[in-house]
Amino acid sequence: MAKEPDYRSNSLVRGLSILECFTVTRPEMMLSEIAEALSITSSAAYRFVVTLEREGFLVKHETRYRLAPRVMDLGYRYLASLDIYDLARIPADQLRNDTGFTAHVSVLEGVEIVYVYRALSDRSMVSNVPVGSRLPAFSTTMGRLLLSDLPEAELDRRFKDYTFNPMSPQAPASLADLKPLLKEDRARGYVAQRSHLATGTLSIAAPLVSRHGRYLGAINLSGHEMQIQPDDALIERVLDAAREISRML
């Protein structure tokens, strides 16, 4: 069988890889750090960095680079293209207004969830995960629900060679630990628990279900555990918001 031709642009791949080097914990980088991250020479990195800077994707301050607002613009264009983003905004805002707690909406991408909408509470102790944030699905209430919709073979594929780094003793430390939790989550239809990532935060999550029964996203209500209690009434309110969005999917 003839080998399928590879039409990828290596230069484009390198440029995108540079943008992916910048993270919450590493918002600024020197040219030498970018070159080291990509395992290329500084001169090669310079050509890519200068192009990204001139096109508005990077900004330079003295000797350090950081992402420019144009990157955010691309991110919001992506979010605006999602039906879930458009359909979930009003119900999520109403859920926040009715309860006083922050509501988030996310989708599953690989083994992570991506936050696509946030209705922020004005409480003094607030759960605040910015739009665009990516968190490990196994450690979040929304992620657990979305993973619970996947067949076991798909779970095995996605988590092959995955290293679990639980930040809480209560978080699953392996796929073998995770699978029984997902079965319980699926049967229950929601997840309500203290956060495995943010100490003192509690979250209640429900799935956003397509007309074909697939989980396309999830919505949660989250706040400080001193203020939010996962009682039946609050859980039902989150489920109601999820059903409202699901009817439109």
| The pLDDT value given to residue 37 | 92
Spatial contact of 57 and 22, defined as CB atoms under 8 Å apart: no
- pLDDT tier for residue 2 given thresholds of 50, 70 and 90: low
Q: How confident is the model at residue 79 (pLDDT cuts 50, 70, 90)?
A: low
What CA–CA distances, in Å, run from 240 to 19, 132, 220, 223, 243? Answer: 39, 25, 12, 19, 5
Give the residue from 65, 72, 60, 68 showing the smallest Cα distance to 28: 65
Model-level pTM?
0.69
Which range, 1-10, 40-49, 182-191, 199-208, is most confident? 182-191
Residue-level pLDDT at 163: 93
Lowest mean pLDDT, pick from 137-146, 149-158, 195-204: 195-204
Query: Per the structure block, which two tokens stand in for 26?
Result: 């590493």
User: What is the domain partition of the chain in residue ranges?
Assistant: 10-68, 82-246
Q: What percent of the chain has pLDDT over 90?
A: 58
Per the CB < 8 A criterion, the answer to whether 141 and 129 are in contact is no
Q: Classify domain 82-246 at the CATH topology level.
A: Beta-Lactamase (3.30.450)
pLDDT in tens, 42-78: 998 999 999 999 888 899 989 999 998 778 767 655 6
pLDDT, position 25 = 82
CATH number, domain 10-68? 1.10.10.10
Number of H helices and E strands in the chain, helices first, is: 9, 9
pLDDT confidence of residue 73 = 67
